[in-house]
Structure 1
């Protein structure tokens, strides 16, 4: 049947009509037309000829048909025939080894200049690969995930929606995806996987879903993304897995309505999140189900005033009363309904008597504590007898933790703090102890018991502030980048004035590490901690924005960073908590001069309320997305810093700085090549970002040989493999048989830029045996071999009856041979005349003799002193295929079997 509505494509110089879309009614065809207007028609103006326009439209429609057919049927992993066909094309076009795991593929357009190329993008565990054959031109790109610094969705005049990927400072745009969000999420997961596996070893080892790179699948990545979203939303531990999601309605007893949302079923929890804007969350641990009815109907005592209270104490009692009413209406404990009203009363400040209980509830620490009874007691018993660098640092910082608070002016508080910090260092030795943990733990101990404070610390360090408390504080740097992005979006006038955004990074580091505890009075900071445990890092970001907004006018008048820091310090010193029942404690001496007016007091409750009113629309899902996006940028920035430092310490060579940077990129690429397709790579096992810059990246013999063939001027020799093996053996000085970049660059510098004498010295040293006793062993073997041959000859003469009788001279020779054997079997004497075999093995040459001989041959001198164009070799090496490097076998040739 012919559809009643159709869209046809025709150019003015052609009489052929190409069918583009069809529809059963006007609504359907109009929908197709609107999509064509948004995604296709805007791009047609970039083509010069009508033939190019037709070819592009045909290619795009065919790609859409293939993509739609694929997506409406069973997914790729369940459609082996189509997936096998795509895999064959992927292997044919890009020539990668079979170990490269293809995850999925999509039809899309790649923008090369001003002209889009319609083709296919292939997403594998290590690369994003694009192939197109368009208008007779083949376009092929490969981008390694570990080289991606930015990955984001963008919109422009020509492109309604596209994905922008930045690698090595170059932008790549991919558009016209049918399922753009799904594609982008998979790209994010693959980039995050590569970053964690290759750069963030600690996080990678903790994530069991990332262990084997050859087992990465599209479905596995999607499940991992759902699990991360689930655990982040409900503050659950990393080992909690999501089993099922479904839409449902939840009966809200206090409103007498049904709320639409999603039900999440996990191994140990049933969770609900509303989708209708009511902001209602419920977490039900399965261990509590049998007590649910009892907890729900439990009533709590109502406060009755029976004495005289101060104004602050009265307000505190009113807060307790307000929370008790809230508990009666919404429930108490882990099964409590968490609604917008819950957030509103958290913003007002949690009462002192309920703070520890609610911190445990909102952070999810109570679930961890219930799942591990007695765990903290065992850790304390085991850890108190251990001594390490972490315990030394803990002892040094114990008396610096809230010294102004009475709780830490006696041995009771100090001992409790020591036990909690030492137990956590024992639990997580990869983090151990980091500065700022002592300040945070001190505040936790003010409102929670020791074991509760320990599990609160676990929740903060391992879930709410991931990667904050390690040597590179990557998590804090990522959140600083998120904060800068929010400043550019929410406070553009401030970014226009302060062009250097590094100021915000330096001033906000303590805000994130200590949740504002170190910059404002403790009685005010605990209100920030209240919101942090309820809303996570979102609360800290909001408060940071409102602090800058509050001081906007003064910051715009600042002439330098020091003046801006002074303004913010004065502001924090004057943040108060008028509702706190605690007496104010000394924090920092106020910074003020005689000619300045005192800074006005600011109430923390009002400040937090204003942060929610102005910036409360920032959603946790958006923050997590910005975290993933900026994590790539932060890690690549750290890698650039590593490269700069390595280049600086390697500058005694004659390469230019640009050549050294390019060489380091190639060196690093070879380092990662062994990691791409090997789950137990030696180089990856010894890669630690905490090591000195030079030791972070090292290569083994196999990788060195690949670089030797690409860069060495001696790689065209018939004995190139032998030279590569011997030169590597000359460099190796550690038991792991790895070399660093400085060693590599110095050796290559001699090969490319060294004088004739330097190069000849290198060749000479390459043939020096590594074992100092090896020469004596060779002599002993030669002596024994010669004697055995002589004995065999004598034995044949004695045992052969047909042999003529020996002459007297022969007997004398035999006797002399026997005497020599007896002597040499013990220790050869210096006066003994060496045998012919010994004379041959003992020939040696000094370097000066070889040099003098070769200098008489101008052809050889000219060969060694011929200049090498390093730039050309580097450019060729950049374009070398990955499969060429990978095919080098570590067992090609053993160095002890090589000769020049």
Structure 2
């Protein structure tokens, strides 16, 4: 009963998932066996039918009930074993219980097989004040929850891309709970066995979804992950993969390693440090190319040993001082001792394996002026830039054709920093500042002697203290490369930069244009960039990076940062430093939406609230933080502070990371707190901060002072107080040094959710505003349609072909064109949203509409094209809706193959028709029509020739005339019903088929069927009338051919000809009609119908209808001479695709063309419209309003777009 069902769900995730079950139980036994289960009656009925066909008949041969049970069990177990055998190779890593839970998850929530379960947890969902105990399923793309409690079922499905906030908090009402926020709801989950593990996994999955929104990165499982040495209970391969990813990211961030470095393992140990003769406890990390060590105390010691530098790894002899030691020697004659290793033998074997895979590089001799100018035993060999490199021999720009001449002996920029080439002789070098600089260099040389030099240096708190005091100019480039990790990437990719420059030379795109525009704005006050040499170097580095990373390409502010890098490094080194900045140290900063900078801006606001609460409220009101922080963060203060001071900030940034930038920003606000609290507006606050930063000075700089442009423009009369940069840095460490890198990463995740969702909302509003002018939908309807459209695209990314879907989104395009869907996704949306449901025919109609909307023929449509198609069906009058339907049955919407079924159907309906033909028109009618046509053409010729003769004698047209003509051609011509081409007989039959399917299951279905049968029969005869006019041989045959030609001009003329024909026919006396047939019983009604046809068709539309006499119309309505499908006896779904609902004009077509489609038959849109207007049922159907919001709501339930909770009573489940 209910209690058993509830206990099943609470105690076991897989015991009860579906409300329907098939059980096997014999009369004498109290035990039953579950044979099948289903979530719906349809599903369980399908299982029962299979059992009836394959099992029940066989059971009758058994006499013993035990034999029956044994047979049934054996049969079902055999089927299960066969199914598992097929799936075994794919999921062999996942434990059995986990596979079972994944299968139940897919059944319960309707997920496809490609949706992978990561893990599942027992917890409670708080619905109101009542906790619902159930199971939380975390898949790659969704968060799902299921609960069954005393007859009440709760089902939740939330896409990770819809999550706006994840919080773990503890309140009185919700003890230790996780709060999941979307745009519509806030959901609370609690009572976890391990809430930290669950929350961490939820953060990872949400972060993957944000990456997908940001840069189209879909989740791909790492197949190279090694299998566990012992089986892990209830842990899936995906969960292991995600755990490994989290560890890899943390490992790479801690030691600034390349993005492709993967952690193999870590173990506790101690490191012997020769500089203080101590054992420092910590952890050793081993990966494919590096051995790293991090002490438990944050700044005690960090060590990075590249395996390319390792020469010997051996087990040393144990002693009381060094228990279980491991010795690692490097090429630079340094030896590192690790002790207290638990599994030393296994570790040595792993390191030896990695060493064997490490490629050995031949040492290259180099002679760099700034490099290793002191005898250093720890130096690494650096690959020399080959002389044949385009950088070494070509000082000219990759994009500029202006040659640059060098003096004899001058060194190109490829070999050293620009500062050395453009340093002017300064008295500072021989004065007190020069002495101070030499003392700094000496301090660093002593440090190198004690702690080592190069990548294998011991990094301790002493290193940080030296960085805070400023790095000497001669060592700046070297230490930036080491601290940022750029050195590792450069030495492992020799020649990469030179190849990039060579490939990008002479190539142009949007990025190169933007680079060219900004080159002369990059530190224009520095002499190095007042020269073509410096500008050419900057151009090459920025262009090379734009070609390396087209996703980023070029972003403003990159030029400022790169120009500073070039002052202290050569081009290749500056390039790899730029790579480290853009891809690792400042992730997502330099893209089109500067997401990374906005994320860190959010962190800055949060830290301001925490550390400076008084000021935070004031700054929030003024809106200052969002203005200042972008320029501070994007350029690392280089654009807002004097160069000599800002470069010290860059020193500390390369050592500490973003933590230091936030720390200094807080110190700047703190120093100006009193003045900022008294500000009245944003401008005043910006002036205060700007003047403060302008006067941050570096009194120890040996370079000549470079005037700061901002300071020159904003300098006032009173000389402001100067602030020493080293004092500012010291203050920032004293007040805000408790900021932790791990905490900042955690805050980055939280802010990234908020920022990306905010950007998505902005994009949605931009798109909706862009399309709202021409579309009949309201803003609310457009926003809902955009959500559904985007969700369909995203679904194709993770359930379809990832690469194909990702290729559709080009983020350089406007928001309107970024999301595009293909025909299959459009069909799914059309089926769920269209007001014209056609049963099995709906996908066919969807395909035709897609081809109609896809104007550029790229097999993709964007949001504007999508809503244009939807609007045509939902909005507009009867004429507009019929126009859309009409176009769907003409090329390019209608494929030639689709008309073949109409051909076969016509044969079927015309093969038994009698050959009697009653003439629709007399010879007099034809003669009158041809004369009228000739008259109209003569008049047209006279009108055309007249102006030509007049123009010959006039002067040439004014240029304004041609401008007006050009503007007129550029204007988008609004399509009128006269512009629509005529419809052939086979196309018309397809239209009838569509209409018949549309009316199925309508409340007035029979009335609509009768109406469309009447209209279709009438239109077929009208088509025959037009054909007789065009084909009957007369004296004016050449003029009559104009009616049948496919030329657009003749199509436009045809309504006029029809009108003239009608006016001629109307002049005939009534006696002509009475001679042809007997008088109709209801002449007044027929006359009124004819009048309605003429009026509804508009000017010159549908007039051939008036050629029909009253009796002929009556005969047509009785359908005595046509094969019609009885609407009362035939349901829509029983009709095959090739069935046609009305016959074509019977006898003449059959006799003349041998039961084939009549190629001369045609009908115009005006005639169809006029005929439709005669039937009230059809008019009411097409003018009926449909609420698209309700359709969207139903579609979301089906697609599970947002969290949808179903809370309904279930029938008791017998147990």
TM-score higher than 0.5 here? yes
- State the partner residue of 1:765: 887
Give 2:516's match in structure 1, choosing from 395, 405, 410.
Answer: 395
- State the partner residue of 2:121: 106
Give 1:687's match in structure 2, choosing from 809, 817, 821.
Answer: 809
Whether 1:138 and 2:145 are equivalent positions in the alignment is no
Q: Is the 8 A contact 2:221 2:241 kept in 1?
A: no
CA distance in 1, matches of 2:103, 2:896: 52
Would the alpha carbon gap of residues 317 and 56 (structure 1) be closer, same or farther in structure 2, given more than 3 Å must change? farther
- Deviation of 1:693 after TM superposition, in Å, equals 1.7
Q: Is the 8 A contact 2:167 2:178 kept in 1?
A: yes
CA distance in 1, matches of 2:681, 2:709: 23
Whether 1:836 and 2:1137 are equivalent positions in the alignment is no
- Deviation of 1:404 after TM superposition, in Å, equals 1.4
- Per-residue CA distance 1:319-351 (angstroms, 9 max, x = gap): 122222222222221111111221122111111
CA distance in 1, matches of 2:280, 2:622: 43
- Any stretches of 5+ residues in structure 1 without a counterpart? 1-50, 64-75, 790-828, 885-900
Give 1:506's match in structure 2, choosing from 627, 636, 641.
Answer: 627
- State the partner residue of 1:699: 821
Range with bigger deviation, 852-861 or 171-180: 171-180
Would the alpha carbon gap of residues 687 and 502 (structure 1) be closer, same or farther in structure 2, given more than 3 Å must change? farther
- State the partner residue of 2:33: none
Range with bigger deviation, 633-642 or 829-838: 829-838
CA distance in 2, matches of 1:593, 1:265: 53
Whether 1:529 and 2:650 are equivalent positions in the alignment is yes
- State the partner residue of 1:731: 853
Matches within 5 A, 1:337-736: 337-500=458-621, 503-590=624-711, 597-651=718-772, 652-680=774-802, 682-715=804-837, 719-736=841-858
Q: Is the 8 A contact 1:269 1:283 kept in 2?
A: yes
**Partner of 1:359: helix, strand, or coil?**
helix
**Partner of 2:709: helix, strand, or coil?**
coil
- Per-residue CA distance 1:193-237 (angstroms, 9 max, x = gap): 222234412x569x995999xx98111111111111111111111
TM-score (norm. length: structure 2): 0.59
Would the alpha carbon gap of residues 684 and 703 (structure 1) be closer, same or farther in structure 2, given more than 3 Å must change? same
Would the alpha carbon gap of residues 407 and 537 (structure 1) be closer, same or farther in structure 2, given more than 3 Å must change? same
- State the partner residue of 1:807: none
- State the partner residue of 1:157: 172
Q: Is the 8 A contact 1:127 1:145 kept in 2?
A: yes
Range with bigger deviation, 701-710 or 602-611: 701-710
- Per-residue CA distance 1:580-618 (angstroms, 9 max, x = gap): 112221112537989975431111111112112222111
Give 1:271's match in structure 2, choosing from 292, 304, 308.
Answer: 292
CA distance in 1, matches of 2:872, 2:151: 46
> Could you say which structure has the greater relative contact order, defined with CA pairs below 8 angstroms and 6 or more residues apart?
2
- State the partner residue of 1:120: 135
State which structure, 1 or 2, has the greater radius of gyration over its C-alpha atoms. Answer: 2
CA distance in 2, matches of 1:727, 1:599: 69
- State the partner residue of 1:258: 279
Q: Is the 8 A contact 2:637 2:646 kept in 1?
A: yes
Range with bigger deviation, 349-358 or 664-673: 664-673
- Deviation of 1:720 after TM superposition, in Å, equals 3.0
Q: Is the 8 A contact 2:796 2:802 kept in 1?
A: no
Matches within 5 A, 1:54-73: none
- State the partner residue of 1:873: 1191
- Per-residue CA distance 1:13-61 (angstroms, 9 max, x = gap): xxxxxxxxxxxxxxxxxxxxxxxxxxxxxxxxxxxxxx99xx9999989
Q: Is the 8 A contact 2:819 2:863 kept in 1?
A: yes
Q: Is the 8 A contact 1:97 1:883 kept in 2?
A: no
CA distance in 1, matches of 2:822, 2:429: 78
**Partner of 1:467: helix, strand, or coil?**
coil
CA distance in 2, matches of 1:556, 1:127: 46
Q: Is the 8 A contact 2:218 2:802 kept in 1?
A: no
CA distance in 2, matches of 1:308, 1:450: 26
Would the alpha carbon gap of residues 432 and 872 (structure 1) be closer, same or farther in structure 2, given more than 3 Å must change? closer
- Deviation of 1:179 after TM superposition, in Å, equals 2.3
CA distance in 1, matches of 2:429, 2:667: 37
Would the alpha carbon gap of residues 595 and 566 (structure 1) be closer, same or farther in structure 2, given more than 3 Å must change? closer
Matches within 5 A, 1:280-359: 280-290=301-311, 292=330, 294=332, 296=334, 309-359=430-480
- State the partner residue of 2:386: none
Would the alpha carbon gap of residues 255 and 62 (structure 1) be closer, same or farther in structure 2, given more than 3 Å must change? farther
Whether 1:91 and 2:110 are equivalent positions in the alignment is no
Q: CA RMSD in A?
A: 3.6
TM-score (norm. length: structure 1): 0.79
- Deviation of 1:155 after TM superposition, in Å, equals 2.7
Q: Is the 8 A contact 1:282 1:337 kept in 2?
A: yes
- Per-residue CA distance 1:384-416 (angstroms, 9 max, x = gap): 343333333333322222121122222332232
Range with bigger deviation, 424-433 or 654-663: 424-433
CA distance in 1, matches of 2:466, 2:181: 44
- State the partner residue of 1:892: none
- Deviation of 1:773 after TM superposition, in Å, equals 12
**Partner of 1:105: helix, strand, or coil?**
strand
Would the alpha carbon gap of residues 494 and 749 (structure 1) be closer, same or farther in structure 2, given more than 3 Å must change? same
Q: Is the 8 A contact 2:9 2:147 kept in 1?
A: no
CA distance in 2, matches of 1:85, 1:760: 52
- State the partner residue of 2:387: none
- Deviation of 1:722 after TM superposition, in Å, equals 3.3
Would the alpha carbon gap of residues 773 and 98 (structure 1) be closer, same or farther in structure 2, given more than 3 Å must change? closer
- Deviation of 1:572 after TM superposition, in Å, equals 0.9
- State the partner residue of 1:819: none
**Partner of 1:103: helix, strand, or coil?**
strand
- State the partner residue of 2:68: none
- Deviation of 1:469 after TM superposition, in Å, equals 1.9
- Deviation of 1:301 after TM superposition, in Å, equals 8.1
CA distance in 2, matches of 1:286, 1:230: 16
Q: Is the 8 A contact 1:464 1:536 kept in 2?
A: yes
- State the partner residue of 1:26: none
Q: Is the 8 A contact 1:199 1:689 kept in 2?
A: no
**Partner of 1:233: helix, strand, or coil?**
helix
CA distance in 2, matches of 1:256, 1:58: 62
Range with bigger deviation, 282-291 or 849-858: 282-291
Q: Is the 8 A contact 2:6 2:148 kept in 1?
A: no
- Any stretches of 5+ residues in structure 2 without a counterpart? 14-90, 226-235, 312-328, 336-371, 377-427, 912-1039, 1045-1147, 1203-1215
Matches within 5 A, 1:126-205: 126-201=141-216
- Deviation of 1:529 after TM superposition, in Å, equals 0.4
- Per-residue CA distance 1:508-559 (angstroms, 9 max, x = gap): 1111111111110110011000011001111111111111111111111122
